[in-house]
């Protein structure tokens, strides 16, 4: 009976791999996961290079205590290999399975030269500690790719700032041109989604939180803006700043843990610092 059960399990695993339409074929040690426990175990297994989500509603939240305990005693958990986490339906067609990062911040370090890829997922609570993927501590020389995803972003920059920063200020590490369709300035009440066809930039290190340092790419990914700062901040000198100090103006500083915009009315970064200091809150970095 036990041998039969093992055979059934093996056949089931094989069928799941086949159902992913050959997506795992390019990887040396792919694993299909069916629940959060299996996802966590695959994530911390340095031998696994591809994780296929065979269920919806994946989350790191149930294991945040384990990760934080490890971080407290040993520092950020090192991911020492390139890793892809992929969501797909049982038939192999893209489905964008939900993956919740639960605002867990600064607990995983990517090794230099490795690439962490999220593909075919509906991402939530990923932005934290002033980084697009708050999960990662400082990861110099690593690359993060978000492909064919929907990024449900907690709070977005005003469209005017998004157009300026993503299309004019941020320089791609590979030297190519940015490709994105972003909502027009002033349309926050009527347009809340834009598409990053091929956008790349370096995530600057944040000294306060020890995040950043990696190259970030969004490929064929929809940015779904769940909210904007209220009142909506603006910076009259945004366009003229580009010729002198393109990072002078800060659109939004968000504190996911408190579900709040830290400095909702500030216009530029110096004003934000003064406001944050008076409230005893962490300062935003340039």
pLDDT digit string, tens, across residues 163-218: 888 998 888 999 999 999 999 988 999 999 999 999 999 988 877 778 889 999 99
Same domain, residue pair 112 and 234? no
pLDDT value, residue 184: 95
Q: Which whole number is the average pLDDT over 257-272?
A: 46
pTM: 0.82
Same domain, residue pair 59 and 163? yes
Same domain, residue pair 223 and 251? no
Contact 243, 171 (CB under 8 A): no
Sorting pLDDT into bands at 50, 70 and 90, what band is 90?
A: very low
Same domain, residue pair 271 and 181? no
Host domain of residue 28: 2-228
Answer whether residue 237 shows pLDDT above 90: no
Same domain, residue pair 143 and 74? yes
Same domain, residue pair 184 and 245? no
**Which of the two residues, 269 and 86, has the higher pLDDT score?**
86
Same domain, residue pair 120 and 159? yes
Residue 47 structure tokens? 């031998």
**Which of the two residues, 274 and 215, has the higher pLDDT score?**
215
- Give me the number of domains the chain comprises: 2
Domain end call among 190, 206, 228: 228
Same domain, residue pair 224 and 234? no
pLDDT digit string, tens, across residues 54-84: 899 999 888 888 888 888 899 999 999 999 9
**Which of the two residues, 176 and 89, has the higher pLDDT score?**
176
Same domain, residue pair 187 and 248? no
Answer whether residue 262 shows pLDDT above 90: no
Domain end call among 207, 228, 249: 228
Same domain, residue pair 155 and 63? yes
DSSP letters spanning 169-235:
IPPPTT-PPPEEE-PPTT-TTT--EEEEEEEEEE---BTTTTB--SEEEEEEEEEEE--B-SSPP--
Same domain, residue pair 278 and 217? no
- Is residue 98 helix, strand or coil? strand
pLDDT digit string, tens, across residues 98-157: 999 987 888 999 999 999 999 999 999 898 776 789 899 999 999 999 999 999 988 788
Rounded Cα gap, residues 118 and 273, in angstroms = 33
Rounded Cα gap, residues 250 and 279, in angstroms = 18
Same domain, residue pair 238 and 156? no
Q: Which whole number is the average pLDDT over 241-258?
A: 53
Answer whether residue 51 shows pLDDT above 80: yes
Domain end call among 195, 211, 228: 228
């Amino acid at each position: 009976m036990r041998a039969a059960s093992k055979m059934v399990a093996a056949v089931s695993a094989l069928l799941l791999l086949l159902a992913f339409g050959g997506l795992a074929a390019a990887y040396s040690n792919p694993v299909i996961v069916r629940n959060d426990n299996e996802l966590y175990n695959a994530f911390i297994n340095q031998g696994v290079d591809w994780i296929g989500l065979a269920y919806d509603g994946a989350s790191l939240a149930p294991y945040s205590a384990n990760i934080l305990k490890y971080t407290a005693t040993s520092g950020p958990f090192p991911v020492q290999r390139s890793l892809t986490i992929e969501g797909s339906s049982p038939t192999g067609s893209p489905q964008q399975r939900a993956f919740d990062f639960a605002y867990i911040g600064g607990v995983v370090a990517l090794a230099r030269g490795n690439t962490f890829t999220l593909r075919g997922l509906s991402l939530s609570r990923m932005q934290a500690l002033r980084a697009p993927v708050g999960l990662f501590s400082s990861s110099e020389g690593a690359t993060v790719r978000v492909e064919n995803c929907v990024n449900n972003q907690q709070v977005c920059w005003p469209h005017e700032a998004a157009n300026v920063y993503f299309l004019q200020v941020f320089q791609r590490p590979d030297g190519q041109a940015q490709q994105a369709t972003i909502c027009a300035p002033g349309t926050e009440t009527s347009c809340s989604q834009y598409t990053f066809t091929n956008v790349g930039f370096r995530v600057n290190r944040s000294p306060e939180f020890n995040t950043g340092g990696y190259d970030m790419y969004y490929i064929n990914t929809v940015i779904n803006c769940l909210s904007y700062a209220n009142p909506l901040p603006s910076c009259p000198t945004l366009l003229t700043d580009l010729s002198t100090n393109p990072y002078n103006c800060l659109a939004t500083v968000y504190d996911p843990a408190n579900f709040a915009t830290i400095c909702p009315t500030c216009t530029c970064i110096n004003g934000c610092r003064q406001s944050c200091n008076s409230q005893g809150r962490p300062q935003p970095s340039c």
